[in-house]
Every structure is written in C-alpha cells, then in structure tokens.
Amino acid sequence: MPNCPAEKPLSESRHHIQRFDPTFDTAPLAALHAACFDEAWDAAAIKDLLVASGAFAFHTDDGFVLARLAGGEAEILTLAVAPHARGQGLGRALLNAAIARAVDQGADVLFLEVGADNPHALALYAGLGFTKVGMRKGYYSGRDALVLRLPLPVKFA
C-alpha cells in the first residue's frame, strides 16, 4: 500500500503506521474492509469519505482507521484490521494515531459506533477509555450498535 511521502512514519511498538494520502488508490483499503466486514465499503465509498473536509486515515499493510473532524468533535468512521493481524496491538496503534491527530486538530471528544455483539472491539475501546453514551437499535442490518465516547485529550500510560 502506498505511503504518504510527506509524512514520517508513526511508530508504536512494531507497527509501521502512516497517514494515508487521499490522492492514492483506495482499493487496498477497500480490500482490507472487505476482509473485515460483511457489509464492506468499496473503494469509491472510501475515496468519497477521504476527500471530505476534516477526513483522514492511517494505515499499514494489515489495517487502517478512517476518521473525520468537525466542530471540535472527531468520529471514527471505521477501523479494519485483517483477521491474521488481530490480537497484536495493531487496532490500538491505529486508534492511538487517530486520537493523536484529533487532539492535534483541536477535537475535545471522539465518538464511534460499534456492534453490541463485538466483544473484542468493545474490549479494545474500553481499554482506551471509551464509555457508552447511547445505542442505535438495528444499526448494522438489524444488529444493535453502541455509541461510544472518549473525552480528549487522553493521557495513555
């Protein structure tokens, strides 16, 4: 997957995370999304999100996070980690990159939706300090989603 040439890699543990350049081909991100979700976003949908005002993404060969900023708030739109790369801290590293970017851009809160039936994601988000602030009934094709909130800035140990 291409790297944004104007940015230095972010380093957290062994993960080589970089900011994704929205002018690059989004097909690799779409392929990762398809490997992770039944209702995956195609390359065009990801591209449309990335070119919107306030949008940004971080990526590695095995995962990416896509987020946006607006009015002092940030939102994680999706987090995708390839099945073979799960459980190795990549999701946390990608989220930390997105959180740092949101803080740098002046956000004071970060939101996301997650399937209420996704215990691994819920554990990841709880470990980062996200708390439940709502529920969306039937949000994911009949499955409930929890709305989670993280006040910013966050100090990680």
Provide the annotated active-site residues: 113, 125
Angle at 89 between CA 73 and CA 25, to 5 degrees: 65
Amino acid type, 55: A
Q: Max CA-CA distance within the chain?
A: 42
**Separation in Å, CA 99 to CA 16, 36, 130, 139:** 16, 22, 12, 24
**Contact present, 63 and 82 (Cβ < 8 Å):** yes
